[in-house]
């Protein structure tokens, strides 16, 4: 069973990952820039990743689809905040590269006739603990 994470625990993991010796170096996992949400590249070697946690709320089988996108950011923006209570973060697993220790968020986007595995690197400075709007 993976660890249930919130903004504080995700921030602690992200800071620790960013302090790892190889965190700033090129790695197999950085061939494609993943600063904003991307469809998971087919070239990404999934055997490099280990799931370390989840942002999916334990007690909420259908978390909100509301997004938190201040300052004219969009879903695809590299500088969009990572707000764990909001979509799509509230549907994400948190994965770590075994070579460089970078953290990634991953989830499956599903639409009428498609399924798209999406991935984004975690940057500590983008994590925000924003309460859900009523």
pLDDT tens per residue, range 66-95 = 999 999 999 999 999 999 999 999 999 999
- Is 61 part of a structural domain of the chain? yes
Q: What pLDDT score does 24 carry?
A: 78
- Is 131 part of a structural domain of the chain? no
Q: How confident is the model at residue 118 (pLDDT cuts 50, 70, 90)?
A: very high
Distances (CA, A) of 86 to 39, 52, 67, 77, 118: 19, 20, 5, 15, 16
- Is 133 part of a structural domain of the chain? no
Global confidence as pTM: 0.93
The answer to whether residue 134 scores a pLDDT higher than 70 is: no
> What's the domain count of the chain?
1
Give the domain range for residue 45. Answer: 3-126
- Is 21 part of a structural domain of the chain? yes
Distances (CA, A) of 39 to 42, 100, 125: 9, 21, 23
Contacts of 7 (CB under 8 A, 6+ apart): 83, 84, 85, 127, 128, 129
């Amino acid at each position: 069973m993976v660890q249930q994470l919130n903004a504080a625990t995700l921030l602690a993991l992200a800071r620790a990952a960013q302090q790892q010796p190889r965190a700033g170096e090129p790695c197999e996992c950085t061939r494609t820039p993943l600063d904003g949400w991307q469809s998971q590249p087919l070239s990404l070697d999934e055997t490099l990743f280990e799931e370390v946690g989840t942002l999916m709320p334990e007690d909420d089988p259908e978390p909100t689809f509301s997004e938190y996108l201040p300052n004219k950011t969009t879903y695809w923006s590299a500088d969009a905040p990572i707000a764990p209570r909001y979509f799509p973060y509230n549907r994400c697993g948190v994965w770590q590269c075994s070579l460089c220790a970078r953290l990634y968020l991953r989830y499956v986007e599903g639409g009428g006739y498609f399924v798209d595995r999406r991935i984004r690197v975690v940057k500590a400075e983008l994590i925000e603990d924003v309460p859900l709007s009523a």
